[in-house]
A and B are shown apart, each in its own frame.
Chain A
C-alpha cells in the first residue's frame, strides 16, 4: 500500500525468548484513527512501542509514507506519543513542556510562543501556561501531554492508553474531545486501549489483538456485529456462549432442539463470518446479555417469534446496574448474564429469547467442549 501513512508488514517482536508480536501486518491510511484493542499482555502496547521505536524489531518492516523507519531511533521518526502516565516533566511549566518539541526543532522563540498560545487555547488551557504541571489536575495534565504531542505537527500521533488515569466522567468528555480534535487536524492516529467502548467511540477502525496476533480488523460496527472468532465475540461483549448442534438445511442451517434450547432455522444471509452455511456438527453460539430478552416458559418456541432461539433456565441472581435489571440465568450447568427491563425474582423459571441476528456462531473448538 503505497498510499498508507503507516505500513506495518509482518512485524515480529521478542522479549528474550518470548515472541510477543507474531507476523503483525497493518496499513493505516492518512488521517485515519485506528484503535489497538486487546486485553493485558496481548501485545498492543508493544506494537505501539515498536512503531515509536522504543522496542527493537526482530523481523518485519515499519514504513511511514513509503519511508522505511524500522531501524531508526525514536528521536528520528517524526512521531509524537502521549504516554499513559503523561510523562510530563515536573521541573517545567506547561508552556515549556508544550514548546519543548519546537525548541528541539530550533523554531524561533516568538513562533514557539505563538504556537504554544494556540495549543493552550485549542485545549482549553488558557492562563495555565506559566503553571508548573505539578499544580494541574489529572484532566489538565492529560491535555498538556496531548498539547506537547500536537505542537510539533506530527505525521503520526500515538496514544498509549491516555485516558486510563482519568475518572469515568472526565474520560467520557476527553474521548469526544480527542476524537473531534483528531478529525479537525486530520492527524493519523494510533490509539492503544483495553477499553472496548473507548475504542468504539473514538476509532474509525479497530484492530483487535490476541496473544501477539491480529484477531480482527474492521470498523467498530463490523467487529461488534460480525466477529470472526470466539475471542473477538467474547471480547466485544458477547461473553455468553452455549454449545449447539447444527446441520445444513435449505440454503442455511438448522439448529437442532436440545435439552435446554428450541430449534431454529437460520438463512445463509443471517449467518455471520464465523460459520459456513454448509457446516454440520457442534457449534458454539455467542450472544450479548443486552441482545437477549427474558420471557415466560410456556413451551419453547411457542410464545416467541419464530426467528428466536429460546433457552430455558432459572434466575439465580438479580442486580440493578441502572436503567435495566441484570440477571444470572442458569441454563443446564451453565450460567448466562442477561439484561432485561422487567423486574423478576430469583428462582423464577424463564425463557431467554435470542433473535437470530444476536447469535454469533462458530465451529466448536474440540479443545473446549461445551463452548
Chain B
C-alpha cells in the first residue's frame, strides 16, 4: 500500500512549510487585513467611508503627487537602465565598459535613508553639487538653486533604484544570443538602432519586471520624501506617518494605506499576469 508513505510525505511537507507560512500569516497577512478592515471603521466604531473621504479631501494632491513622482522616476529608471545595459552590451571601449560595470552597482548597497542623507548634502542650495558648479564657474553663487523638493525625490529614487533595474536588464542583455546583435550590425544597423529595435524588445519582459518591482519599492519609502522634501505637497507615506504621529488617526492612515495597496496591487497584477503568460518565469 502506497497511501501511508504518501500521507507521511504530505505531513512532512506541511511541517517544513509551517514556519514560513506562520511568518507570512502573522507578520504580513494579519496586519494587512487588519489595516484594510480598520480603513472602513470609524473612530467611535462602526462601518464608514469617512476615512476615505478625509483621505481624498486632505491628500488627493499628495496622492497625485506620489503617482507623478514615482511615474517619472520609473520612466527615468527604465531609460537609464536601458542606456547602462545597452552600453555594457554594445560598448566598444573595453575600459569604459569595465569602469561602468564596476561603478553602476554601488548605490544598490546603500539604504534609502543613507541615500536621502547623501542627497541632502549633495542637492542643497549650498550643497556639493552647487559648490562644484560655482567653483567650476558654471553658476554664480547667487543663482544657485536647491533641488531639495520633488526633483530631489526623483533624483534620489532614480539613483537608488537604477542599479537594481540595470543589474536585471544588463544581465538579460548579456544572456542574449550575441549573433542576434551581430546580424543586425551586419545588415547595416547602428548601435543605437540595434539597442532600440533588437536588444530592448528581447529584454522587455525583464525590464518590465524590474520597473514594477521598483515602482512597488518606491511606493513604500518614507525616509526619502521626509528628508529630501519636507514641504507640501509630499508623498502618501509621509501623510500616513503624520496622521498617526500627530493625531493618532489610524483610520485615515489606513485609508491612505488602502489606496497605496490599490496602486501597488495594480502593478503587482501586471507583474503576475506577465509571469503567468511566460509560464511562471519571474
Q: Which residues of A contact B (CB under 8 A)?
A: 52, 54, 73-76, 79-81, 83-85, 87-91, 100-101, 104-105, 145, 148, 152
Contacts and interface: CB of A to CB of B under 8 A. Distances in A.
B202 A91 contact: yes
Given A83-B179, A87-B177, A89-B202, A104 B186 contact: no
A81 B186 contact: yes
A52 B186 contact: yes
A89 B180 contact: yes
Contacts of B182: 54, 74, 81, 83, 87
Given A101-B188, A104-B188, A81 B202 contact: no
Contacts of B193: 104
26 contacts: A52-B186, A54-B186, A74-B186, A75-B185, A75-B187, A75-B188, A75-B190, A76-B188, A80-B186, A80-B187, A81-B183, A81-B186, A83-B182, A83-B183, A85-B177, A85-B179, A87-B177, A88-B183, A89-B184, A89-B202, A91-B201, A91-B202, A100-B187, A100-B189, A104-B193, A152-B188
A148 B184 CA distance: 10
Interface string B158-194: 0000000000000000000101101111111110010
B222 interface: no
What are the 10 A-B residue pairs with the smallest beta carbon separation, nearest first? A87-B179, A87-B183, A101-B187, A91-B201, A83-B179, A104-B188, A75-B188, A81-B186, A74-B185, A87-B180
A101 B194 CA distance: 12
B198 interface: yes
A104 B179 contact: no
B190 A148 contact: no
A54 B179 CA distance: 11
Interface of B is mostly: helix
Query: Which size bracket describes the interface of B in this complex?
Result: 10 to 19
A136 to B, nearest CB: 15
B177 to A, nearest CB: 6
Nearest to A158: B186
Contacts of B180: 87-89
A148 B189 CA distance: 13
A351 B189 CA distance: 63
Contacts of B185: 54, 73-75
A73 B186 CA distance: 9
Given A83-B179, A85-B179, A87-B177, A148 B198 contact: no
A199 to B, nearest CB: 22
B100 to A, nearest CB: 21
Contacts, number: 58
B186 A75 contact: yes
B159 to A, nearest CB: 31
Contacts of A83: 179, 182-183
Contacts of B177: 85, 87
A116 B79 CA distance: 33
A346 B189 CA distance: 62
Nearest to A92: B201
A369 B9 CA distance: 67
Given A73-B185, A89-B184, 19 more contacts: A54-B182, A54-B186, A74-B185, A75-B190, A76-B188, A80-B187, A81-B183, A84-B179, A85-B177, A87-B182, A89-B183, A89-B202, A90-B202, A104-B187, A104-B188, A104-B189, A105-B188, A148-B183, A152-B188
Contacts of A54: 182, 185-186
Nearest to A152: B187
Contacts of B187: 75, 80, 100-101, 104, 148, 152
A105 B186 CA distance: 13
A56 B180 CA distance: 19
Interface string B197-223: 010011000000000000000000000
A52 B189 CA distance: 14
A52 B179 CA distance: 13
B62 to A, nearest CB: 39
Nearest to A104: B188
B179 A100 contact: no
A80 B185 CA distance: 10
Contacts of A152: 187-188
A105 B187 CA distance: 9
Nearest to B198: A89
A88 B185 CA distance: 13
B196 to A, nearest CB: 12
A84 B179 CA distance: 9
Contacts of A91: 201-202
Contacts of A81: 182-183, 186
A147 B202 CA distance: 22
Interface string B254-271: 000000000000000000
Interface in B32-74: none
Nearest to A85: B179
A79 B186 contact: yes
B184 A100 contact: yes
A75 B185 CA distance: 5
Contacts of A87: 177, 179-180, 182-183
A147 B158 CA distance: 43
Contacts of B201: 89, 91
Contacts of B198: 89
Interface in B97-115: none
Contacts of B189: 75, 100, 104
Contacts of A75: 185-190
Nearest to A151: B187
A87 to B, nearest CB: 4
Contacts of A104: 187-189, 193
A52 to B, nearest CB: 6
B93 to A, nearest CB: 13
